[in-house]
Amino acid sequence: MSMSTGITAREIMHSPVKCAQCDAPLSELHQRIVTEHVSAIPIVEGEKLVGIISRSDFVRLPILHQSLAAYIAESGPLTDAPPSEDCAAGWMQQLTARDVMAQAVITCAPEDSLEQVASAMAHHHVHRVIVVEEGRPVGMVSSLDIARLVGSASGGAAKSAAQVQGGQQRVAVFSLPDDPHAIRDALVDALGLLPIDAQAHARMLPGLLPDHLSREAADRLVEKIQEYGVIASVVSEEAVPDLGHAKTIHHLRMSDAGIDVVGIAGSSEECIPWDALFLLDVGDVPIEGATSQRVEATTVSATARRLAPSGPGPSAPVGLEAWLIAKDPWRGYRIDHSLMNYEYLGERLTENTRANFRLLLTDLRDRAGDMHLTQGVRGLLDDGPSSRYWYASSEALRRHTLFCLLVIGRLGET
């Protein structure tokens, strides 16, 4: 693997990107999606990006229509218009882009690396990232664009299981199909999984499927997934760090040679050389034992807004976790900000463990100059929005770390 692909969002983005003004009628946008064969349209106010509407938003509109009709039938119309279905249909025809668009748009800068873009897609489970320059959308990168690059990195096709030698195999999926049930169906057809189990596995994607397979079964599954236009690859178990049994670092010191992992007795148990550090990922994850209800905010019409949740639910306490991946051989290390001894910081030590953790990540970034940083690390260290590094669980963060490792390795193959 090379340490960097050198590819940026500017080099692969589709540009110029066709946008729509926020007051554009919804019917007009639906017509554009159908006739122009696009999956999403960025929404602007003037030239500033303010939202996005995707094909899936139009799939949800009938549900909104039914909710409005039910509400009107129960409460009575708010005007002299005919009740129930007719009234709801009239209001639906008045909807504009602003009423339905998603306001939380996942974006990147033109010079962001391909690894950062892929990481953002995996983190937020989206099919596309809008490339923004000074607040203006200048391009779009889709998961299909990245999948094509991943495929061409090894001669234009996914690696077949027959090329992977020895041991059990895993299957990595590098993008999401338009059909949300495609991967589920592929797992059912190729492996004979129950639909409910296959659907649970599919929800982990893009990333590494949990199934440990023979070469023949892995090859069969890859071929089935490729029928849906998705790039998948067989990965040997030896090429995947076992993060489920990774060491948790509680105490470390830094030297010119690398990181000294310190044991309970205060002596060095292991030295990780600086040039062995390959990837650093970080996330805010709910603290174990706490509960939360995370509700995504949605913009709807003035009437429909009365039927929608009032806003995000209460958030559980979160804690920062980091994953450090080293190579030769591949191995992972977990760091929990609340369980860490920051003695090495010396005079820089503060009473705030999150502040100390940021200092630790900054030192790792500065001293391991060739190490890959995920968009979560950059977001935390650059004081970006917490959505860039929030994960639903420690397991979700761990899966994201593995996916980033696979993408970087796949794109860096020569």
Q: Which two tokens stand for residue 281?
A: 């990922």
pLDDT of amino acid 353: 93
Q: Which amino acid is at 408?
A: I
Residue (of 290, 167, 151, 327) closest to 235 by Cα position: 167
* In the predicted structure, residue 302 carries a pLDDT above the cut 50: no
Over range 386-404, report the average pLDDT.
88
What pLDDT score was predicted for residue 276? 94
Query: How many domains does the chain divide into?
Result: 3
Other C-beta atoms closer than 10 Å to the C-beta of 3 total 14
Is there a domain that residue 47 lies in?
Answer: yes
Based on the fold, state whether residues 66 and 168 are members of the same structural domain: no
The reply to whether 199 and 313 lie within a common domain is no
Nearest to 392 by CA among 321, 331, 334: 321
Kindly indicate the confidence band of residue 289, based on its pLDDT and cuts at 50, 70 and 90: low
The total of other beta-carbon atoms located within 10 Å of residue 11's CB is 11
Among candidate residues 221, 233, 237, 217, the one with its CA nearest the CA of residue 165: 237
pLDDT level of residue 154 (50, 70, 90 thresholds): very low
Q: What pLDDT sits at residue 69?
A: 52
Q: What mean pLDDT, rounded, does the chain reach?
A: 78
Q: Are residues 84 and 225 in the same domain?
A: no
pLDDT value, residue 281: 95
Q: Do the domain assignments include residue 3? A: no
Contacts of 119 (CB under 8 A, 6+ apart): 374, 375, 376, 400, 403, 404, 407
CB distance 300 to 98 below 8 Å: no
Q: Which of 173, 205, 239 is the last residue of a domain?
A: 239
Count CA atoms closer than 13 A to 390's CA, side-chain side. Answer: 10
The neighbouring-strand residues paired with 251 are 341
Q: What does the pLDDT average to over 306-324?
A: 59
Question: Beta strand pairing status for 252-254 and 258-262?
Answer: antiparallel
Residue 31, in any domain of the structure: yes
Residue 4 lies in a domain: no
302 lies in the same domain as 338: yes
Residue 76's pLDDT is what? 53
Residues 282, 272: Cα–Cα separation, whole Å: 19
Q: 2 in a domain, yes or no?
A: no
DSSP, res 252: E
Are residue 131 and residue 232 in the same domain, yes or no? Answer: no
Same domain, 228 and 163: yes
Based on the fold, state whether residues 177 and 278 are members of the same structural domain: no
What is the model's pLDDT at position 150? 62
Q: What was the pLDDT predicted at 163? A: 42
Give the pLDDT confidence of 20-32 residue by residue, as tens digits.
999 998 888 888 8
Q: Where a domain ends, among 120, 149, 178?
A: 149
178, 208: one domain: yes
Residues 17 and 97 in one domain: yes
The residue out of 207, 222, 239 marking a domain boundary is: 239
185-242, pLDDT tens digit by residue? 999 999 988 888 888 888 888 888 888 888 889 999 999 998 888 888 898 887 788 8
Percentage above 70 pLDDT, the chain: 76
Flag whether pLDDT at 58 surpasses 80.
Answer: no
46-60, 334-348, 388-402: lowest mean pLDDT where?
A: 46-60
* 297 located within any domain: yes
Q: Return the pLDDT at 278.
A: 94
Question: What's the pLDDT at 334?
Answer: 94
Are 45 and 125 part of one and the same domain?
A: yes
Is residue 110 domain-shared with residue 175, that is, in the same domain?
A: no
C-alpha R_g of the chain: 24
At 106-153, the pLDDT tens digits run: 999 999 888 788 888 877 777 789 999 988 999 998 877 776 666 555
Q: What is the pLDDT of residues 351-377, one digit of tens each?
A: 999 999 999 999 999 999 889 999 899
Asked whether residue 351 is assigned to any structural domain, the reply reads yes
Q: What is the CATH number of the domain that holds 217?
A: 3.30.1390.10
Higher-pLDDT residue of 125 and 378 is: 378
pLDDT in tens, 316-358: 678 999 999 999 888 999 999 999 999 999 999 999 999 999 9
Three-state SS string over 116-157 comes to HHHHHHHHHCCCEEEEEECCEEEEEEEHHHHHHHHHHCCCCC
Which residue, 123, 118, 136, is CA-closest to 174?
118
- Model confidence at 83: pLDDT above 50: no
Residue 92 pLDDT exceeds 90: no
CATH code where residue 113 lies:
3.10.580.10
Most confident of 37-51, 164-178, 342-356: 342-356
Q: What residue numbers bound the domain in which 228 lies?
A: 158-239
The predicted pLDDT at position 232 comes to 87
Q: What is the mean pLDDT of residues 284-290?
A: 72
Q: Is the pLDDT reported for residue 313 higher than 60?
A: no
Sign of CA dihedral 338, 341, 343, 344: negative
In angstroms, rounded to a whole number, what is the distance separating the alpha carbons of residues 339 and 319?
10
Residues 256 and 398 in one domain: yes
What's the pLDDT score for residue 411? 56
Specify if 367 maps to a domain: yes
Q: What is the pLDDT of residue 61?
A: 61
Of residues 359 and 13, more confidence is placed in 359
Distance CA 7, CA 4 (A): 8
What is the pTM assigned to this prediction?
A: 0.60
